[in-house]
Structure formats: structure tokens, C-alpha cells
Amino acid sequence: EAGVAQSPRYKIIEKRQSVAFWCNPISGHATLYWYQQILGQGPKLLIQFQNNGVVDDSQLPKDRFSAERLKGVDSTLKIQPAKLEDSAVYLCASSPGPEGQPQHFGDGTRLSIL
């Protein structure tokens, strides 16, 4: 089966600019996750979708981050405006169903803020 697809792989922007990331999960996976991974740390959950509804966005900085999953398939994550501390790898993952199941990860988008 095809894996989780993410684009772009790399992005360099200046602070205060906006950026968007795209994720296509594994076909049939109802649950989609966005994580932020800062260098040297583990992934931190930003938002979790079940189909096209938000299950958990408690750690999403809602003043600057937004995410949507239209039609319960693809998802986009947006940052506007970006801050220096947003430099990180943004990982998308999917799983067939509820929490606790193994997750399948894409290779991420490496974001650098200048």
C-alpha cells in the first residue's frame, strides 16, 4: 500500500510569513495526526482528526496555526504568521481507527524560519 505522502519536503521562509503543508494519508485511514518535532526531541501532537472532525487540538497554537481535513481525506496545516520558534519538522501520520493503534508516518516537512 502507498504510504503517507507529505509535501513539500523542505521549506524556508522569513518570520512573519505564512506557510502551508499538505498531507495525504493511507487510503482508508480514518484518523490523521499532525505533529511538530523540534530537533533532538520526540514528536509533539498538534492536532488529531477522526474523519473530518477534530478530536484533539489542545496543543495547537490557535492564534497562528490552523488545520483542516476536508472530505475526511487530505489535510493541510497552516502557520500564519511564522515565528522563529516554529522551525521544526512537521510530521503527518495516519491510523485506521481510534487512539492506541500503530501510526504510519510520512517523511515530514522540514521548516526553517529565517
Partner 1 sequence: SQQGEEDPQALSIQEGENATMNCSYKTSINNLQWYRQNSGRGLVHLILIRSNEREKHSGRLRVTLDTSKKSSSLLITASRAADTASYFCATAPSGNTPLVFGKGTRLSVIA
Task: Choose between 4 and 82: whose C-beta lies nearer to partner 1.
Answer: 4
The reply on whether position 91 binds partner 1 by CB under 8 A is yes
Number of residues that bind partner 1 (CB under 8 A): 24
Distance CA 78, CA 75 (A): 10
User: Which of residues 21, 33, 34, 49 is near partner 1 by CB under 8 A?
Assistant: 33
- Alpha carbon dihedral 70, 73, 86, 110, in 10-degree steps, equals -140
Question: Binding segment for partner 1 among 12-20, 63-71, 78-86, 101-109 (CB under 8 A)?
Answer: 101-109
Buried b vs exposed e over 66-103: b needs ≥16 C-beta within 10 Å? bbebeeeeebebebeebeeebbbbbbbbbbeeeeeeeb
Q: Which of residues 41-70 bind partner 1 (CB under 8 A)?
A: 41-45, 48, 55-56
Q: Which residues bind partner 1 (CB under 8 A)?
A: 4, 33, 40-45, 48, 55-56, 91, 93, 98-100, 102-108, 110
